[in-house]
Amino acid sequence: MKIIRSPAAMIAWSEALRREGVTIGFVPTMGALHEGHRSLIREARLQCDALVVSIFVNPTQFGPHEDLAKYPRPISHDRTICRKEGVDVCFEPTAEAMYPAGFQTTVTVPAVAHRWEGEVRPHHFAGVATVVTKLFGMVRPHRALFGQKDFQQSVLVQRLVKDLNLGVDIVVRPTVREQDGLAMSSRNMYLSPDERGRAVTLYKSLQAGAKVIRTGGTDAKTVRSAMAQVITRESTITTDYLTVCDPLTLEPVASVRSRVVLLGAIRLGSVRLIDNLLVNTPPQNS
């Protein structure tokens, strides 16, 4: 496996392969790779001829009081995973190479970014949209894979690729979960053993909302209160949001008439967790 650090070298590698008609797959990450990343890498390996994984803890998507400094950076563990999964290039740019002196362009996707995560983390999605656009410009992939775990991010990336005609095929893969249902996340390692035990409450809350819909409930308020009830059983958990949305626009719905996404974010001590479930309405009896 090749490790590339400079954007110019990354572009040169990709351009050479593109000229030969090789299909380039790409999995952008911030490292601390877990089974969720691994499943994206495996799928990309199956779908594409050449495979690039980027490892870059992007400073611009962290707020001033967030965990940028302590974000895990187990680079040799990450490279081992990439090697085992048959990755061709691990792209590890530095912050200076990504944001050199004079850098000033920002990509924003306001309608997708303003709600939910965007309300709690106001600069987050501009950071994500900008870095993803830059990474696409450097890796020049035909296809890029993202996890459904970051649902709002996946909607944002699909929108920006369409709006800016970036010509990258975006594939969103299902969330990989621990045995008890907790969505895999690099931030799960911040949880104490006690918090880890309670972290599954978010998934259980989404499941409670999904059950209301699958058994014929259509009132979004009822769905939200079923979700909230599960969380309030755990007095130490606080809720940032629990919502029922249109999966394409991320606007909240009042009534569930077709497929919706249930989005949730909670805080357990100093750890913030997000998760989501796509839910179909039950078939109508004729």
Instruction: Give Rg (Cα) of the chain.
Output: 19
Out of 24, 39, 48, 58, which residue is the one contacting ligand PAF (CB under 6 A)?
A: 58
Q: Is 29 in the site for ligand PAF (CB under 6 A)?
A: yes
Kindly write out the interface string for residues 153-182 of this chain, putting x where it contacts ligand PAF by CB under 6 A and - elsewhere: x-----------------------------
Are the C-beta atoms of 53 and 89 separated by less than 8 Å?
A: yes
HSE at residue 200, side-chain half, CA atoms within 13 A, is 9
State which residue, 14 or 60, has the beta carbon closest to ligand PAF: 60
Q: Is 132 in the site for ligand PAF (CB under 6 A)?
A: yes
# binding residues, ligand PAF (CB under 6 A): 10
Q: Is 25 in the site for ligand PAF (CB under 6 A)?
A: no
Determine which one of 37, 77, 124, 142 is catalytic. 37
Contacting range for ligand PAF; rule: CB under 6 A; set: 6-14, 25-33, 40-48, 259-267: 25-33
State which residue, 78 or 256, has the beta carbon closest to ligand PAF: 78
Active site residue 124: no
- Distance from C-alpha of 217 to C-alpha of 100, rounded to nearest angstrom: 52
State which residue, 16 or 95, has the beta carbon closest to ligand PAF: 95
Contacting range for ligand PAF; rule: CB under 6 A; set: 22-30, 75-83, 164-172, 233-241: 22-30
State which residue, 154 or 207, has the beta carbon closest to ligand PAF: 154
Least distance from C-beta 31 to ligand PAF, angstroms?
Answer: 8
Please count the other Cβ atoms lying within 10 Å of the Cβ belonging to residue 229: 12
Q: Is 150 in the site for ligand PAF (CB under 6 A)?
A: yes
Least distance from C-beta 41 to ligand PAF, angstroms?
Answer: 13
Q: Which of residues 99-128 bind ligand PAF (CB under 6 A)?
A: 128
Least distance from C-beta 19 to ligand PAF, angstroms?
Answer: 27
The strand pairing partners of 243, in sequence order, are: 263
Out of 4, 17, 30, 145, which residue is the one contacting ligand PAF (CB under 6 A)?
A: 30
SS3 readout for the chain:
CEEECCHHHHHHHHHHHHHCCCCEEEEEECCCCCHHHHHHHHHHHHHCCEEEEEECCCHHHCCCCCCCCCCCCCHHHHHHHHHHCCCCEEECCCHHHHCCCCCCCCCCCHHHHCCCHHHHCCCHHHHHHHHHHHHHHHHCCCEEEEECCCHHHHHHHHHHHHHCCCCCEEEEECCCECCCCCECCHHHHHCCHHHHHHHCHHHHHHHHHHHHHHCCCCEHHHHHHHHHHHHHCCCCEEEEEEEEECCCCCCECCECCCCEEEEEEEEECCEEEEEEEEECCCCCCC
Q: Is 131 in the site for ligand PAF (CB under 6 A)?
A: yes
Least distance from C-beta 102 to ligand PAF, angstroms?
Answer: 21
Least distance from C-beta 54 to ligand PAF, angstroms?
Answer: 7
Instruction: Give the active site residues.
Output: 37
Could you list the residues that contact ligand PAF (CB under 6 A)?
A: 28-30, 58, 61, 128, 131-132, 150, 153
